Amino acid sequence: MSRAATIFLLTLSVLFSAASAAEWELVFSDEFDYAGLPDPNRWDYEVGFIRNQESQYYTKARKENARVEDGMLIIEAIKEKFPNPAYNPGSRARRPEFAEYTSASLITLGKASWRYGRVQVRAKLPTGRGTWPAIWMLGTNMRQVGWPTCGEIDIMENVGFDPNRIHANIHTQDYNHVKGTGKGRNIEVDKPYEKFHVYAIEWFEDRIDFFIDDNKYFTFKNEGTGNAVWPYDKEHYLILNLAIGGSWGAQKGIDDSIFPQKYYIDYVRVYKSK
């Protein structure tokens, strides 16, 4: 590349950074510049067997599954026999007495939630058949109105049997995978299990834009037809989780030889529009 071209590209980069700084104001962040358990002022946990027929038991405040070290959050999935304290042999849910895997799901519910803005997470993903890491959001009214009426924004999903493909999706009352009407897009990404990438959304009144490394690859627009299509005029909270198996993650089985698997998160930043 010529010197002139290099200078031009650097100038563009500086201008883009300046424009971004002018547009957004930081309102929440975790740089993981400490050690130990995730900051309890920012993060809570989902606990147990939660959804999607997944095989892992999500633990709470257990360093083996979620910890901060070397400037990063690490969510680690482990193959181990782990007792299910909620086991009930008479339950229709038929959850096992012992889990075969443990992992963690960190949430900001009750700590922080947002309506509109930019949400970005820099992460390196686990890999291998059976892994299902995600960065996503749910409406804070989920317990009152249920899913998918509350709205779901999948900033990043990846399944280990297709390791170089990243998925962005939204789920609403009218548009969701159960009905076969889901809206989203997937894109090839260079070795996201070896390299860090920045996964982000920019969320406005009229649309949600999805990015990888500032490359916009999907937009979902507000059709102006009400909550069944656009529940995104209400606050949502953030979820960082590493699932094992489940309705999607286990479509090609679980390879037990891959464990343990680590999901590295360098930072989480949320901005509001100035």
Q: Which two tokens stand for residue 237?
A: 């909270």
User: SS3 of 117, please?
Assistant: strand
Rounded to 5 degrees, φ, ψ at 39 are -55, 115
pTM value is 0.91
Q: 3-40, pLDDT tens digit by residue?
A: 554 444 444 444 444 446 669 999 999 999 999 999 99
What integer pLDDT is reported at residue 92 of this predicted model? Answer: 67
Shortest CA distance to 211 belongs to which of 24, 78, 10? 24
Mean residue pLDDT across the chain: 93
Domain that includes residue 248, residue range: 25-273
What integer pLDDT is reported at residue 20 of this predicted model? Answer: 60
What type of residue sits at position 85?
P
The CATH number given to whatever domain includes residue 197 is 2.60.120.200
Rounded to 5 degrees, φ, ψ at 53 are 55, 30
67 within domain boundaries: yes
DSSP letter assigned to residue 50: -
Mean pLDDT of 230-248: 97
159 within domain boundaries: yes
257 within domain boundaries: yes
127 within domain boundaries: yes
Do residues 77 and 260 touch, judged by C-beta distance below 8 A?
yes
1 within domain boundaries: no
Sign of CA dihedral 143, 136, 260, 73: negative
Q: 32-66, pLDDT tens digit by residue?
A: 999 999 999 999 999 999 998 889 999 999 999 99
Shortest CA distance to 30 belongs to which of 240, 224, 172, 192? 240
Residue positions annotated with a catalytic role: 152, 157
CA atoms within 13 A on the CB side of 186: 11
Do residues 207 and 216 touch, judged by C-beta distance below 8 A?
no
Q: 119-138, pLDDT tens digit by residue?
A: 999 999 999 999 999 999 99
Q: Which two tokens stand for residue 185?
A: 């897009």
Distance CA 166, CA 157 (A): 6
- Alpha carbon 255 to its chain centroid, in Å, reads 22
230 within domain boundaries: yes
Distance CA 240, CA 245 (A): 16
CA atoms within 13 A on the CB side of 148: 21
Do residues 167 and 176 touch, judged by C-beta distance below 8 A?
no
- Domain count within the chain: 1
Q: Which two tokens stand for residue 91?
A: 């339950």
Rounded to 5 degrees, φ, ψ at 102 are -125, 155
255 within domain boundaries: yes
85 within domain boundaries: yes
**Which residue's structure tokens are 């090609």?**
252
Total residue count of the chain as it appears in this document? 274
Other CB atoms within a 10 A radius of the CB of residue 129 amount to 20
